[in-house]
Amino acid sequence: MNILTKKQRDILQYTFLLFLIILTAYIVISTLDIKILPQLIKIINYKYIILGFILILMYIILEGYIIKIIIDSIQKTKIKYLGMKLATMGLYYNLVTPLASGSQPIQIYALTKYKIPMSKAIAIIVNKTVIFQSVVTIYCSMLLIGNYEYLSGEMHSVIILVATGVTVNIVSLGFGFFIIYSPTKTKAMINMILNFLKRFKFFRKLENKRDNINKFIDEYYESVMFFMKDKKSLIKSLIFTVIQLTLYFSIAYCIYRALSLNKESYEHLLSLQAFLYMAVSPVPTPGNVGANEIVFFKIFKNIFPKELIGYGVFLYGIFIYYFILIFCGICTIISH
């Protein structure tokens, strides 16, 4: 039984999000050295600010293109710009719901509204999620292995967060691969766990979820196996996801150069932003608000001068949260 209505939950969710945004903005603004602002305006390299916005727009466009590839593979449709519509909607709900939990259900709902069968709609969104999760986990894991010595030496307090994020993603991905390997064994394992947990009063309500969990495993398996048959679309989706992530992880470099700094290499700053992404990925706040800013301070404290790091955090928030939120929010309102 739900204590709150949907409207009340939405109000509570957005109120909490607004509180986080205001609190985070206050913390970030309090770190800004206002005295150097006139000088900063003179030295700032606006070419890199513009480049940052272009990269984010390309990131959003690629999100739409990857979804289009998957849609065309599973259920061809004549609806124009459906990939972009779903992309902007998904990115918007990623930023306003805890753990991005609202994006997949709303995308599936939207697909059914466009006369795509429920089973195909689930297959499209499941495959998009699996592809992104697989690429980002492998991408960040490779960077972590290549930079482990630096992380353990220079940022030992952050490596635990990064390792936790990578581990959570690997476990999640591993569970998905186990389903693909043997859905029957997966269901048997889950049922065994549920049988054990139902002995405890606190977990007895999980028994009501047994059928839903088994249904999810079947749908997950069927969705992934269906798309894997189209190897051309699968490979294209993987390649464009790598490009998409590279564009996204280049924002820290744009901010660094925009503040007229040039000592650090592009590859190093890309790696650090990837670690930042992975470190905050398990944080349940909508869009990782608050966590992004705090971890940015920790990871980049030796990269940006003390008087400039506050401005770096400020710009980072604009690029990876507020610009995407506003742009995708407007697109979602217009298209739906």
Residue ranges per structural domain of the chain = 44-335
Q: What is the pLDDT of residue 326?
A: 92
Largest separation between any pair of C-alpha atoms in the chain: 67
Q: Which long-range contacts (CB under 8 A, 24 or more apart) does 148-151 make?
A: 151/275
Q: Which amino acid is at 123?
A: A
pTM of the model: 0.87
Q: What is the pLDDT of residue 152?
A: 74
Q: What is the DSSP string of 68-88?
A: HHHHHHHS----TTHHHHHHH
CA distance 128 to 67: 7
CA distance 161 to 177: 24
For 291-310, what is each residue's pLDDT tens digit?
888 889 889 988 999 889 98
Q: What is the pLDDT of residue 75?
A: 86
Q: Which amino acid is at 265?
A: S
CA distance 254 to 234: 31
Q: What is the pLDDT of residue 97?
A: 82
Nearest alpha-carbon partner for 332 in 92, 7, 31:
92
Q: What is the pLDDT of residue 1?
A: 45
Residues 168-199: b if buried by 16+ CB within 10 A, e if exposed: ebeeebeebeebeeebeebbeebeeeeeeeee
Q: What is the pLDDT of residue 99?
A: 64
Give the count of beta carbons closer than 10 Å to the beta carbon of residue 234: 18
CA distance 58 to 246: 11
Q: What is the pLDDT of residue 265?
A: 95
CA distance 282 to 284: 6
Q: Within the chain, how many helices (H) and strands (E) appear? A: 16, 0
Q: Which residues of the chain have pLDDT under 50?
A: 1
